[in-house]
């Protein structure tokens, strides 16, 4: 096979083979990247603008539901897309995912309350669940693992562009009172419509892949059990800190989720190869270890990183848009290591070394971040995030590649979606745990910082300074100090914006307390990544296939029919 074409052997009964030239692959990837860009850009833009949206809809206290609803439906639908696309073909479901995402974006645009927005975001999440997982599955279908590196620039362009454009667009749109007679923040969702229409047109025009239908049962019990298991668990992961982890609501969610998991496992065992997530895949060591790694990496990587934007905004006083731009060095690190590792994998056929090195780099990066303080320079922080980015880039793509390479080609969709699914679940768990750790310790750290500051001459002069006492913004802190400091720090859990209005001398203990509380989160995340490093040592290194998923599936089908014919 040449380096510039992918020749697909025809399934029995097909009149001619299907051949993808390098140019055709580029065109197909353009359609896939447009769909991935749609989801990546939306995530960055909404994250930047959500505070403004919540203020306008009078729903600041319930803004988290807009994110929670999206997360739940996106997570649950991911494995559904993978399995259904294996059965019926990728194209119709990728088009469906884009269409649902665009329709959900239109609905979000006209939402009149935060509850309506949450419902519309849930609908939007139904589409988002298929955008990334199906795009990665299609890539596995058309490009052999050993050749995939030469096309990796397309994927990185999506992340890089969305990382730069997302915060900028979110800040600009949310900051406008109106554009063409429409409230500025509503354009955050409305811009998805033209992008989505372009993606639909490209995919409908260029994505034509051969697919072999096979006899199957629809795993309805497994799908229902998955919903029963994940909805309460994701709810408690997102809301448990507010409810209380041992509250009746949380315990009820844990119990329902546990029952759902048991029912799901029973259903998957009963349905065998037709299961939503065939349990036989876990008999393969690469798939089993890779799934565990994706879960752990999700906890450590994404859970640990949730504190960085908070640090930049609260401690360094940056706006959400500025914080987004300050995360670009991490994106540069991801892109750099992804390109280098992809090229080396293509040349050598070896992939295990990269997640091994990547997990070590992430541990080093988290260790460096653990040492940051209120006085750490932005340049230093950006350098630390580059180290994190280099580690992330070495882990993410090789793990997906290993899983896709290890499973039968007919399970490409379910295997790819499972990798995304376990990483999403890990990220949700990590975010819940680390934010809980942060907000359960930050008040004590702030009080300790005030206790230390009270013994310094600069702080003592500040609290008796007439100008400080005359400023009403300083009154809550001065009153708390007079009453013994019992309530110091508790108000920052819901609204930290007042810190920027304080006299710098009074504000400093808040900044020091936040930085020290975040240090503990980075330590825990580093420990999680040490566990990931130990697990990745058990990851097998199988020879990378030289044939694409479509070619391999055609070979498997031909072999199956030949065996059946010989037996007959």
pLDDT per residue as tens digits for the range 292-327: 999 999 888 876 677 888 888 888 888 777 887 888
CB 366 within 8 A of CB 304: yes
Are residues 253 and 191 part of one domain? Answer: no
538 within a domain of the structure (yes/no): yes
Q: Which helix (H) or strand (E) holds 182?
A: strand 182-183
Are residues 397 and 363 part of one domain? Answer: yes
Are residues 145 and 199 part of one domain? Answer: yes
568 within a domain of the structure (yes/no): no
518 or 494, higher pLDDT: 518
Are residues 334 and 233 part of one domain? Answer: no
Are residues 126 and 15 part of one domain? Answer: yes
Total tally of structural domains belonging to the chain: 4
CB 102 within 8 A of CB 193: yes
534 within a domain of the structure (yes/no): yes
- Residue 471's contacts (CB-CB under 8 Å, 6 or more residues apart) are 503
pLDDT above 60 (res 13): no
Helices and strands (DSSP H and E) totals, the chain: 22, 4
The CATH number for 97's domain is 1.20.1250.20
| Other beta carbons less than 10 A from residue 246's beta carbon | 9
Q: What is the pLDDT of residues 270-282, one digit of tens each?
A: 988 888 888 999 9
Work out the pLDDT band at 133, boundaries 50, 70, 90: confident
Full residue range of the structural domain in which residue 488 is found: 444-506
Are residues 402 and 390 part of one domain? Answer: yes
Q: What is the average per-residue pLDDT within 234-238?
A: 82
pTM (2 d.p.): 0.83
Are residues 524 and 398 part of one domain? Answer: yes
Are residues 493 and 539 part of one domain? Answer: no
Domain boundary pick from 506, 522, 553: 506
CA atoms within 13 A on the CB side of 202: 22
CB 326 within 8 A of CB 382: yes
Are residues 369 and 425 part of one domain? Answer: yes
Are residues 247 and 358 part of one domain? Answer: no
Report the Cα 153 to chain-centroid distance in Å: 20
Are residues 41 and 15 part of one domain? Answer: yes
Are residues 191 and 239 part of one domain? Answer: no
Token pair belonging to 1: 């096979």
371 within a domain of the structure (yes/no): yes
Instruction: Give the Å distances, CA to CA, from 31 to 28, 131, 202, 400.
Output: 5, 11, 5, 20
Domain boundary pick from 231, 256, 275: 275
């Amino acid at each position: 096979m040449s380096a510039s074409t992918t020749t697909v052997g025809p399934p029995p009964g097909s009149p001619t083979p299907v051949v993808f030239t390098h140019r055709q692959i580029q065109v197909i990837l353009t359609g896939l990247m447009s769909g991935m860009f749609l989801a990546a850009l939306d995530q960055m833009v909404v994250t930047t603008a959500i505070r403004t949206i919540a203020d306008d809809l009078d729903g600041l206290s319930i803004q988290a539901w807009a994110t929670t609803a999206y997360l739940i439906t996106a997570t649950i639908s991911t494995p559904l897309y993978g399995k259904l696309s294996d059965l019926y073909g990728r194209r119709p479901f990728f088009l469906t995912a884009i269409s649902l995402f665009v329709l959900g974006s239109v609905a979000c645009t006209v939402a009149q309350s935060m509850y309506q927005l949450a419902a519309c975001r849930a609908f939007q999440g139904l589409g988002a669940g298929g955008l990334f997982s199906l795009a990665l599955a299609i890539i596995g279908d058309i490009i052999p693992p050993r050749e995939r590196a030469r096309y990796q620039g397309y994927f990185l362009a999506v992340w890089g562009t969305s990382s730069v454009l997302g915060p900028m667009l979110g800040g600009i749109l949310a900051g406008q009172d109106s554009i063409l007679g429409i409230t500025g923040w509503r354009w955050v969702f409305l811009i998805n419509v033209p992008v989505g229409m372009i993606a639909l047109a490209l995919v409908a025009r260029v994505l034509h892949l051969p697919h072999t239908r096979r006899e199957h049962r629809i795993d309805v019990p497994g799908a229902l059990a998955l919903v029963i298991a994940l909805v309460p668990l994701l709810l408690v992961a997102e809301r448990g800190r507010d409810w209380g982890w041992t509250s009746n609501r949380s315990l009820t969610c844990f119990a329902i989720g546990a029952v759902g998991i048991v029912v799901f496992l029973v259903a998957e065992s009963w349905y065998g190869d037709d299961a939503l997530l065939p349990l036989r895949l876990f008999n393969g060591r690469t798939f089993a270890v890779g799934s565990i790694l994706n879960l752990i990496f999700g906890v450590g990587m994404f859970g640990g990183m949730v504190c960085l934007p908070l640090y930049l905004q609260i401690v360094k006083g940056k706006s959400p848009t500025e914080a987004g731009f300050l995360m670009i060095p991490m994106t540069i690190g991801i892109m750099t290591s992804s390109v280098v590792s992809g090229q080396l994998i293509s040349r050598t056929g070896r992939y295990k070394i990269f997640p091994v090195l990547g997990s070590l780099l992430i541990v080093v990066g988290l260790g460096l971040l653990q040492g940051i303080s209120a006085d750490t320079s932005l340049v230093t922080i950006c350098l630390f995030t580059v180290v994190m980015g280099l580690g992330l880039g070495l882990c993410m793509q090789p793990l997906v590649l290993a899983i896709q390479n290890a499973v039968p080609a007919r399970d490409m969709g379910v295997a790819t979606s499972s990798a995304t699914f376990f990483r999403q679940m890990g990220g949700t768990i990590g975010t819940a745990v680390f934010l809980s750790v942060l907000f359960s310790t930050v008040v004590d750290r702030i009080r300790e910082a005030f206790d230390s500051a009270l013994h310094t001459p600069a702080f003592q002069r500040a609290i008796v300074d007439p100008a400080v006492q005359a400023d009403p913004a300083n009154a809550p802190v001065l009153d708390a100090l007079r009453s013994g400091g019992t309530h110091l720090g508790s108000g920052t859990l819901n609204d930290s914006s007042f810190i920027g209005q304080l006299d710098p001398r009074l504000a400093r203990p808040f900044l020091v307390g936040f930085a020290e509380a975040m240090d503990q989160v980075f330590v825990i995340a580093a420990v999680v990544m040490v566990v990931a490093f130990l697990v990745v040592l058990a990851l097998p290194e199988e020879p990378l296939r030289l044939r694409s998923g479509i070619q391999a599936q055609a070979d498997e089908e031909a072999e199956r029919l030949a065996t059946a014919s010989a037996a007959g």
